[in-house]
Each structure stands twice: as structure tokens, then as C-alpha cells.
Amino acid sequence: MGVRELFDLTGRTALVTGGSRGLGLQIAEALCELGARVALVARKRDELDAAVAHLASACGATGATATGVACDLAVAAAIPGMVAQAESALDAPIDILVNNAGATWGAPTVDLPLAAWQKVVDLNLTAMFIVTQEVGRRAMVPRRRGKVINVASILGLGGGHHDERRPATLAYNTTKGGVVNFTRALAVEWGAHGINVNAIAPGFFPTKMTKGILEMLGDDAANAAPLRRTGGTEDLKGVVALLASDAGAFITGQIVAVDGGVTAM
């Protein structure tokens, strides 16, 4: 098989949580550009409709299609129905799962409300577990194949850097560390089923979640990376293409930092 064929996702189906904007939409765009049919999950119907229209314009030449499924992943009981709805819309079991939905909360640890901690844990870890369990149960484990890609963060790889201009994000950092070991543990368990489980750990990318921090840090956010810039609108596509396709068939349990070299320092 040639290299182009290894990356071809024609006929594959993908579910991307938090897929209506930011990194999730960039990931979805990469998948559909390679031919996959994509179901996007987010809370807001208007943002989903806009994202689906964007993908139709960006990926129409490939023949790939996109659909949106509205669901608040913080409501655990809603997740099984969401997965069933996505499979129905895709008219096939899910081949590729991207767990991207997440939340953060900035506050000094001594002031962090328990409700805020629980909100971040519920979305960043518990919802990811339930989505993965449901997709595994319905689609991947019975068919003995599948690709799971979790979106962690470089803040889950260490304690982070103290900067008085940035609010502390203990709950976010802790849950993203959980995503890292969730990925490794599940890769070991599901390897026997022929399922690849990997994670991407982005550095600073301009998104709605990071907007305030990037404005506070100014040029320092870019200068902190050896490549002297923050992430762009194409910078996750290559690693997603690798981990979602047959090109990454022998890669599992890995955490790939996409951070301009920050974690190399």
C-alpha cells in the first residue's frame, strides 16, 4: 500500500466531540479532507450548523459529509443516545473517536469552588470515559478495530509554569493529566481488540478558551516556544491524519505534544 492510500479515510466514520469550533473543528476538517464522514457534537445548535456548513464548503470535493448532533456532554445520561444518534446519522458504526470537548476554570486553588472543580472533572474526564465506553461497546470492540484520539494538553504533562498574569488552572491541569494516563491505560487494554488509543497534547492555540490568557501574555506566549509562535489553523491536521489512519496502525498509547517545542525545553 502506498503512502497516499495509508492516509485515505474514504468510507470511514468519525465522531468529534467539541467539534463545532476551535481545535475540534480543525480536527474535523482534517478528517473530512481525507474522506471521512464526520459527526460533530456540541451543545449549541447554531454553532453546529455553522460548523457543518463550513465543512461542506471545505471538504465537498472529497465527497465526505458532515452532520451535527447537539448534546450537553456534562449530562451523563444523554451520552448513550447521542452516540446512537451519531451512528444513525452516519449510517454506520464509528471508526474514529476524537474526545476533544473540554472546559477550564481559572482561580487560585484556595478560592476554587467545589462546583467548578466538579464541572471540569465531569466534562474533561467523566464524559470522555462515557463516550469512549459507549463507542467501544457499540462499535469498536465488537468489530475489533478503531481509532481513539484524546485531546489532552501540555498542561497535563507537568505542573505548568507559574506566571502571575495567568490564573491558576488546577482542575484543568489535573484532568488533562488524567486524560494522559486514561490514554495509556486504555491503549494497553484495547490493544488486544486491535484498537489504537493515542492522545494529542496541544500547546497554545488561539481559541475561545485561551483568548483571555493569550491577550494577557501578548508576545510572551509565542516567544515561550522554540518555534517562536503559537499554534495555527493547520497545525493539528498532520498528527490527526497520522493517528486516525492506517499510517498510524502501529502507534498506540502515545501522547504527541504539538506545542512548537515548549515541552522540549
The burial class, CB within 10 Å (0-12 / 13-18 / 19+), for 11 is: exposed
DSSP assignment, residue 21?
S
Task: State the Cα–Cα distance between residues 225 and 108, nearest whole angstrom.
Answer: 25
**Which is catalytic among the residues 87, 172, 180, 245?**
172
Task: State the Cα–Cα distance between residues 77 and 122, nearest whole angstrom.
Answer: 12
Describe the crossing of helices 170-190 and 128-135 by its angle, rounded to 10 degrees.
20
Half-sphere exposure of 205 (CA within 13 A, CB side): 24
Q: Grid cell 473540554 — which residue? A: 102
Catalytic residue check, 172:
yes
* 257 φ/ψ sector (left φ>0, alpha ψ -120 to 50, else beta): beta
Task: State the Cα–Cα distance between residues 28 and 245, nearest whole angstrom.
Answer: 14
Query: Could you tell me which residues are beta bridge partners of residue 201?
Result: 257
Rg (CA), the chain: 18
SS3 label, residue 113 = coil
DSSP assignment, residue 215?
H
CA distances to 68, 104, 151, 180, 245 from 183, in Å: 26, 20, 10, 5, 18
Active site positions, annotated: 172
